[in-house]
Every structure is written in structure tokens, then in C-alpha cells.
């Protein structure tokens, strides 16, 4: 895997700090330091689709100080979702939940990928996922200067995937490039593909290309070396919304690409993963939580005990357990049982409010 930097992206950190400073104005730190904090998943824990889970608002208010001790508990949101900027996502969540969420509290699936900027800042990169040009906006906000989207390729040569016809609005959002002269140096899957056929075809073409030029073919030796790095932001196979059965997630797209590429070339694709349960994402989220706590309360606690709440044992619980956090599994999303046999949580709660109340009583040493 490409060596990643342990600190948060400098540009993102500066953006987050400026947002916090505006939000809190002159700082008057009245709260004593809290020796614990919590990272919370979003889909299946706080929301389902575009609707808040009933206990979500009360849980966040509890963390904000509406508890027996009037104590504010540092919290951040850690999700394998994304597709928009952290600012946009914070606005969406604030409206749905009825609680103000700061962008500096959010780690989206692609947030840690800003650490790739020093390597690819001025390279042409293909970004997959999201609607319209949202993911181009996200990538540019991190500092990637030359971002290609699949529709840019389709506008150049529609026969690359003749089953998708671009609308006038689609065409307005494209970069007008001659890809016979454009070297694409990396592929980054920021969010769920909105057109699997188109995106599988274009990524497959690129991985088989000579030096990242579309409509070329690498030699067998070059193919075996896979000169174009490939990054995925979310390993999840499924996710939970308001439908009865789970929905296919980015991990399913990755498995499809792996299987198709193996069938076509006989080769295994090489890739790097971000998102839960990957360690790089937990390091990023931990640093973000500490930075946010310092900016809003004046306290930084490197040895702070961290709890993590999620609904997916394979990502939320597996990742938290591996990183040394105290895991809490809730039954409002993917998981419905007593506990998971492969990735057991420290505690299983019916909902997010029950989860934060359990954490509170564990740490504050008093009975109900």
C-alpha cells in the first residue's frame, strides 16, 4: 500500500479549524475535560434513508450536555458513506436530526483519502461515484487539481459505454478533454457508482491500458505489474436504509470488478482500501475527534477512551475492536441479533440512546 501520512490533511484541517472558530467565536472553556469520547456510525444508527431514527436526536443532545451531570461528551461521526463534501453532509444531517453537526465532526468514507494529495495533487485522477459532479467538487476541496469523472470519458467517446446517453445537463458538467492525450495516473472510488456498467468498463479499460492512456493496450508484462494504483473508500458489501433488505454497497462493486477483471485478463487487481474497518480510517477519525475536542473545549486527551457505535459487525465492530476502541452494536440497522459470533461487540443496544446511556454509566460510576 502507498505510504499514508499519519496526520490529518493540512488543507482539510485548516478548513475545519476556520469553520469551528467562526462557529464558536470567542472561546470560553467552562467544561472540565472529559476522559472519554465516542464515534458514531450514521446509516442504521442515526438515520435510515432520509429519516432520523427516533432516538437519534435525544442521544446527540445527551452527548451535548443534556444528562444528569450536564457533561459534554466529545463525539464524532464516522461513516462509510459520502459522495458530498463534509460541509454539505453536515448540513444534511443537521436538518434531518434537528441537531447542529459541525463538518469537523465528520469522517466520511473518502475523508482520509485527502492524505493522497501530496502524491497525486497535479496528476489526472479518475474519481468514481456520486451524482453529477459532486465527487469532483469533493476531490478538489481536498486539493486534487485535475479530476476526471466517468462522464468526461463518455463525452469524449460515447462508444466506450454505448448504453448510457448523456443529457444536456450531464454534458454541461463534463471536462472537455481528448483522452488520447491524457495520462490518468490513479483511480479513486470515492462513493457508490451510479452507473455500474459504465464505471466497470472504464476502470477495466484503464487497468489494461498502456501508461494510463485510454484506448491503448498494455503489454502482458505491463498488465501483470498494474501501473495504475486503485483506491476504494468503502469495503462494505451491503448497507442499511429504509428498504426491507440491505442494499448493495461499494464493496459489491469492487467484488464485481475483481471477478470481471480476473475473467478478462486472468489477473488479480491490486488495490488499497480506506473506510471502516481499515486502520488508516480509525487513525484519521481519532485525530479528528481530538482536534475537535481541543478546538471546542480547549482539552486534548491523547489517552482518551473511545467508544464506537455501529450497526455492521463486519465493519463497525471489527474495526473498533481491532483499533482498541470499546464497541457497541445497535439493532436499528443491519444487525438484529444478540451479538455477532465473529465480531462480538462489548455491548449490544437496542438503539443509539441506549448505547450512549450505557457508555455514560460505565464511565461516570453511578447507578440509574
Q: Where are the alpha helices (DSSP H) in the chain?
A: 10-24, 56-63, 86-97, 117-120, 134-142, 150-156, 168-172, 196-207, 220-225, 250-265, 279-297, 318-323, 352-364
Does this chain's domain 33-109+277-364 share its CATH topology with 111-273? yes
- CATH architecture group of domain 111-273: 3-Layer(aba) Sandwich (3.40)
Helix (H, G, I), strand (E, B) or coil at 40: strand
Say if CB 343 and CB 323 are below 8 A apart: no
Take residue 15 and report the three cell numbers written for it. Answer: 478548513
Q: Look up residue 315 and give its DSSP letter.
A: I
pLDDT of amino acid 295? 84
- Write down the residue that cell numbers 454534458 correspond to: 171
Q: What is the 3-state secondary structure (H, E, C) of 234-270?
A: CCCCEECCCCCCCEECHHHHHHHHHHHHHHHHCCCCC
pLDDT along the chain (368 residues), means of 10: 48 45 44 87 95 98 96 96 97 98 97 98 98 97 99 98 97 98 98 98 98 97 95 94 91 98 97 98 96 83 90 97 98 94 97 98 76
pLDDT of residue 47: 97
The domains of the chain are located at: 33-109+277-364, 111-273
Q: Does the bond joining 26 to the residue before it have cis omega, within 30 degrees of 0?
A: no
Encode pLDDT of 107-162 as tens digits: 999 999 999 999 999 999 999 999 999 999 999 999 999 999 999 999 999 999 99
Burial (0-12, 13-18, 19+ Cβ within 10 Å), 222: middle
Full-model pTM: 0.90
Please provide residue 41's backbone torsions phi and psi, each rounded to the nearest 5 degrees: -70, 165
Counting Cα atoms < 13 Å in the Cβ hemisphere of 290 gives 15
Beta bridge partners of residue 310, listed in sequence order: 329
* Cβ-contact 209, 202 below 8 angstroms: no
Find out whether 273 and 282 touch, Cβ atoms under 8 Å: no
- For domain 33-109+277-364, is the CATH number 3.40.50.1000? yes
pLDDT of residue 19: 41
On whether the CB atoms of residues 214 and 153 are closer than 8 A, the answer is: yes
Report the pLDDT value the prediction gives residue 241, as an integer from 0 to 100.
83
Amino acid at each position: 500500500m502507498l505510504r499514508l501520512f499519519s496526520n490529518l490533511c493540512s488543507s482539510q484541517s485548516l478548513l475545519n479549524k476556520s469553520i469551528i472558530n467562526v462557529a464558536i467565536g470567542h472561546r470560553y472553556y467552562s467544561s472540565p475535560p472529559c476522559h472519554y469520547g465516542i464515534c458514531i456510525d450514521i446509516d442504521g444508527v442515526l438515520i435510515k434513508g432520509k429519516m432520523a431514527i427516533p432516538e437519534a436526536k435525544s442521544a446527540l443532545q445527551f452527548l451535548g450536555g443534556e444528562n444528569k451531570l450536564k457533561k459534554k461528551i466529545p463525539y464524532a461521526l464516522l461513516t462509510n458513506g459520502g459522495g458530498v463534501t463534509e460541509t454539505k453532509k453536515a448540513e444534511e444531517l443537521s436538518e434531518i436530526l434537528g441537531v447542529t453537526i459541525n463538518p469537523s465532526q465528520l469522517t466520511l468514507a473518502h475523508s482520509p483519502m485527502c492524505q493522497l494529495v501530496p502524491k497525486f495533487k497535479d496528476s489526472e485522477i479518475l474519481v468514481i461515484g456520486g451524482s453529477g459532479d459532486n465527487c469532483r467538487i469533493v476531490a478538489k476541496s481536498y486539493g486534487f487539481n485535475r479530476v476526471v469523472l466517468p462522464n468526461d470519458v463518455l463525452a469524449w467517446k460515447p462508444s466506450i459505454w454505448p448504453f448510457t446517453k448523456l443529457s444536456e445537463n450531464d454534458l454541461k458538467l463534463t471536462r472537455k478533454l481528448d483522452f488520447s492525450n491524457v495520462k490518468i495516473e490513479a483511480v479513486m472510488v470515492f462513493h457508490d457508482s451510479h452507473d455500474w456498467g459504465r464505471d466497470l468498463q472504464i476502470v477495466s479499460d484503464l487497468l489494461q491500458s498502456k501508461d494510463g492512456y485510454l484506448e491503448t493496450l498494455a503489454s502482458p508484462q505491463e498488465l501483470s505489474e498494474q501501473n495504475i494504483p486503485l483506491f476504494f473508500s468503502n469495503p462494505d458489501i451491503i448497507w442499511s436504509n429504509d428498504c426491507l433488505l440491505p442494499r448493495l454497497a461499494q464493496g459489491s462493486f469492487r467484488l464485481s470488478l475483481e471477478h470481471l477483471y480476473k475473467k478478462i485478463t486472468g489477473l488479480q487487481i491490486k488495490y488499497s482500501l480506506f473506510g471502516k474497518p481499515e486502520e488508516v480510517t480509525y487513525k484519521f477519525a481519532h485525530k479528528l475527534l481530538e482536534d475537535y475536542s481541543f478546538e471546542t473545549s480547549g482539552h486534548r486527551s491523547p489517552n482518551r477512551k473511545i467508544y464506537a457505535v455501529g450497526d455492521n459487525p463486519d465493519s463497525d465492530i471489527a474495526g473498533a475492536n481491532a483499533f482498541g476502541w470499546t464497541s457497541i452494536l445497535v439493532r436499528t440497522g443491519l444487525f438484529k441479533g444478540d451479538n455477532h459470533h465473529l465480531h462480538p461487540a462489548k455491548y449490544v443496544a437496542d438503539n443509539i440512546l441506549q448505547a450512549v446511556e450505557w457508555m455514560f454509566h460505565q464511565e461516570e460510576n453511578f447507578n440509574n
